[in-house]
Chain A
């Protein structure tokens, strides 16, 4: 089928069928989908760029009456062509199961399509999806789903016009979303949420990066890149930068975009409206919260040179102090999910309320060339503007790897508490067979 359908989960648990294609002939075509009892027309495909015939995308809110927790196949038909299977989704559950029926979340970040092992990710994701006891209920793509500034060997030496960027970046998205060895097959199977990080734009965006000469000197060039990358991000991943919030039983999720509205004065990570939305979410928690962000919470700010020529961290921004203060004031446990750093780690501390603040890092899925990560323990304390985030931060000894991998998170009720089990599944199977390499459990 020349169209891909990806189920998204949005605020308040609203499901949406994203559809996309690189076939210009589908502009104006009638496309119908069938999910469970409902057959409905998808919103017509629209061009991402007014002056380019492809890619085409659309989003359709799923209004079918689906049983919570049940899996449904998705079928699609273009015009009068025969109906074809397009994927599946599992309607969000309304309660959290016990250890034998956990709510399973796949957490992945940093997917370089041009990485040496890029083609090895899809078989692992297919394996996890193939097993009832491993299949994620939800996939959180936690940043750098795409490296628009790769290959660096090209972008460091070549500058581009806006139409050239449109063409190159569209091809990059098309290969990742529609290609047989990209992430497309995994996107189609089960619900997805997307959280961006810098490579959805360019390394260390909005600041210039050494690896892309388009970003070096001219605001005009950076703005052009940003326009192109922003339209593609909105078209394929999230149409807005507002936090995505939903509940699964007593668990509250917030997927927060701390990248696309970031300023270049190191003041704001996001709009004031988004920050208020996160603050409200934390203040309103009635059970554990799960906060997905594109960079680490448990980190020290980058030094001036490291930030300018490498990456600025959340802690380099003035607004981080407000985010940290809101988290510090939480009366419920919070699990922060993130990626970015090319290693996987679990660390936790106690909030002043004596609730748990945990951080789970899952990175990379496919390592961008020349950027191998070196595993580091979390700093013992994170301090910002006089606020100390929680108490002493303990790094979990069980999860220590910089191998390409994904994390499979299982949330389940454990007596009066909620537990989070973290498994790290390497992309390159040890001993020739897939299996979790490292695992640990945290009580939230």
Chain B
């Protein structure tokens, strides 16, 4: 057996507690939906599916975790706090690479960073536990410990894949998880909640977390006081999502927002242009 593939859930139907809010969603921004999110999702697991090259390639890499081998809806996960800040481990938007080792790659980002529906057409909020307080406390406790989970190692390995440098094979095939998903799995594990029950390797990824919410709901719901291993304080997962782009497509320098060819000519010399001082 290939250990990359997620174990089948015993559930016969997807979790009815995960609600599709795509219809009627604002076409340009995720903020209206995020602002109206229900109280139980004020603090939750955030999933986004992006359209940058990095997000596109991350979505494609997770195809090996799906039986249909299609790209995942999702490319990044994090913890949304009630104060509208997101704790995550970005791969594509490292603000200060000198801080990465010290911070172990963990960043706190304003929720507004994920506002653009053009950049993040897919977005979900998931709830696995009654309260996120303990999870957030665990995030603060375990995140600095590079000796146990070295996120910079994962980030560098994923960058070699995203940029197709050197060993550019799919990191998931080597059991190397998506950094933010691997971090989130460890944070939840520290609070005795298993986030990827279907995964039999270290290759955590947003897709595995999505499938946990969608298909492993009976696992969480079955937690009882005498049978709570890996699901202490768990609730049957619930949440909402918007998927505007089910089939992954990148937004490249030659693409207009709607996916058609941009009018500007394709140039070989196409440097990043820094603006301001």
A residues in contact (CB < 8 Å) with B = 34-36, 70-73, 88, 99-100, 123, 127, 130-135, 189, 421, 423, 429, 431-436, 439
Contacts and interface: CB of A to CB of B under 8 A. Distances in A.
Select the residue from B153, B175, B225 with max chain A CB neighbours within 10 A: B175
A73 B175 contact: no
A431 B174 contact: yes
A432 B189 contact: no
Interface in B2-48: 3, 7-8
Contacts of A439: 3
Contacts of A421: 1
B3 A132 contact: no
A432 B227 contact: no
Interface centre among B198, B201, B219, B230 (most CB of A within 10 A): B201
B155 to A, nearest CB: 9
Nearest to A73: B226
Contact of B194 (A123, A132, A434): A132
A341 B91 CA distance: 41
A338 to B, nearest CB: 24
Contact of B225 (A73, A130, A435): A73
B227 A433 contact: no
Query: By DSSP majority rule, is chain B's interface helix, strand, loop, or mixed?
Result: loop
28 contacts: A34-B226, A72-B226, A73-B225, A73-B228, A100-B7, A130-B189, A130-B230, A131-B199, A132-B194, A132-B219, A133-B199, A189-B229, A423-B3, A429-B149, A431-B154, A432-B149, A432-B151, A432-B153, A432-B154, A433-B150, A433-B175, A433-B176, A433-B182, A433-B202, A435-B175, A435-B201, A436-B175, A439-B3
B157 interface: yes
B226 A36 contact: yes
Contacts of A434: 202
Contacts of A429: 149-150, 202
Interface in B136-182: 146, 148-154, 157, 174-177, 182
Contacts of B150: 429, 431-433
B147 to A, nearest CB: 8
B229 A135 contact: yes
Nearest to B230: A132
Given A435-B176, A436-B3, A70 B197 contact: no
Contacts of B177: 433
Given A434-B202, A436-B3, A436-B175, A131 B230 contact: yes
B200 interface: yes
Question: What are the 8 closest A-B residue pairs judged by CB atoms, nearest first?
Answer: A432-B150, A435-B175, A432-B153, A435-B202, A133-B200, A132-B197, A130-B189, A434-B202
Given A127-B202, A423-B3, 10 more contacts: A71-B227, A100-B8, A130-B194, A131-B199, A132-B230, A133-B197, A133-B200, A433-B182, A433-B202, A436-B201
A40 to B, nearest CB: 14
Contacts of A72: 226-227
A133 B7 contact: yes
A360 B1 CA distance: 19
Nearest to A412: B1
A131 B194 contact: yes
Given A100-B7, A135-B230, A431 B200 contact: no
B97 to A, nearest CB: 17
Nearest to A66: B226
Contacts of A133: 7, 196-200
Contacts of A71: 227, 229
A439 B175 CA distance: 12
A424 to B, nearest CB: 12
Nearest to A134: B200
A130 B3 CA distance: 17
Contacts of A433: 149-150, 153-154, 175-177, 182, 202
